[in-house]
């Protein structure tokens, strides 16, 4: 994580979260019924390419935001304690976007990958 922006862990975290797919992937984990999930489940819920998904999951693992869990044939991913703490940050960032930029208040009620802006349709 630190190799991308020097030694500052905060900037490294912002760099990771600023990548297009990081927050939509994290939002899958924030949902209680998807607190632990597998690669193909994440891929089908987002539509992300396998290569991009692997890269984002690697970044999130390196930052200790998610971890691998389960046995090899049932291996999946789950949030770490640090990952769980990010849920409040993501929700606050959405609320700040509504306040500062006039983003639709419904933004705070849906996942980023469900948004027309995220999908490039707006």
Domain spans of the chain? Answer: 21-114
pLDDT of residue 122: 47
CA 71 to chain centre: 23
- pLDDT string in tens for the chain (122-residue length): 545 556 788 898 999 999 989 999 999 999 866 667 899 999 988 889 999 999 999 999 999 999 999 877 778 999 999 999 999 999 999 899 888 988 888 878 888 877 776 666 54
Please count the other Cβ atoms lying within 10 Å of the Cβ belonging to residue 41: 14
The architecture (CATH level 2) of 21-114 comes to: Orthogonal Bundle (1.10)
pLDDT of residue 65: 96
> Given its phi and psi angles, is residue 104 left (phi above 0), alpha (psi -120 to 50 degrees) or beta?
beta
pLDDT of residue 121: 52
């Amino acid at each position: 994580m630190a190799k991308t922006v020097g030694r500052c862990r905060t900037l490294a975290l912002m760099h990771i979260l600023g990548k297009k797919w990081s927050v939509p992937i994290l939002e899958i984990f924030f949902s209680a019924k998807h607190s632990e999930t597998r690669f193909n489940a994440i891929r089908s819920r987002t539509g992300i390419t396998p290569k991009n998904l692997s890269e984002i999951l690697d970044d999130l693992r390196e930052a200790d935001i998610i971890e691998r869990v389960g046995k090899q044939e049932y291996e999946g991913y789950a949030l770490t304690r640090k990952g769980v703490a990010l849920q409040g940050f993501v929700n606050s960032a959405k609320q700040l976007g509504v306040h500062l930029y006039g983003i639709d208040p419904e933004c705070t009620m849906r996942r980023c990958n469900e948004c027309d802006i995220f999908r490039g349709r707006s």
